[in-house]
């Protein structure tokens, strides 16, 4: 479990984004990697159907600062579902 400072959270890199839709409801989930190479899965970082890069980054930053997050095992990524939206960029 990890608590992030603002500078630690902003140094995280977005490594995976996935959009889930159920009817009119939309949810974006993200996986981030911290400076030590640890991975964290974050749910519902945005509910906008087409958020901007800054909206995604802001949602991830808020989750990292407000929530105690658990490290997840690294599973090789076979296919990226979404591109853009800040993927492979640091939060800050």
Give the Cβ contact number of residue 27 at 10 Å.
15
Put simply, whether the predicted model's pTM sits higher than 0.85 gets the answer no
Beta-strand ranges (E) seen in the chain are: 13-22, 25-33, 39-46, 71-72
Q: For the chain, which domains are there?
A: 6-72 (3.10.450)
Share of the chain above pLDDT 70, in %: 86
Residue by residue, pLDDT tens for the chain (92 residues) are: 678 999 999 999 999 999 888 888 888 999 999 999 999 999 888 888 888 999 999 999 999 998 878 788 765 554 555 556 777 778 77
């Amino acid at each position: 479990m990890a608590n992030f400072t603002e500078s630690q959270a902003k140094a995280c890199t977005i490594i995976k984004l996935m959009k889930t839709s159920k009817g009119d409801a939309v949810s974006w989930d993200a996986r981030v990697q911290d400076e030590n190479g640890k991975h964290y899965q974050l749910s519902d970082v945005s509910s906008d159907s087409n958020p901007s890069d800054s909206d995604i980054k802001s949602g991830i930053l808020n989750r990292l600062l407000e929530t105690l997050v658990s490290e997840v095992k690294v599973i090789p990524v076979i296919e990226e579902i979404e591109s853009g939206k800040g993927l492979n960029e640091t939060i800050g």
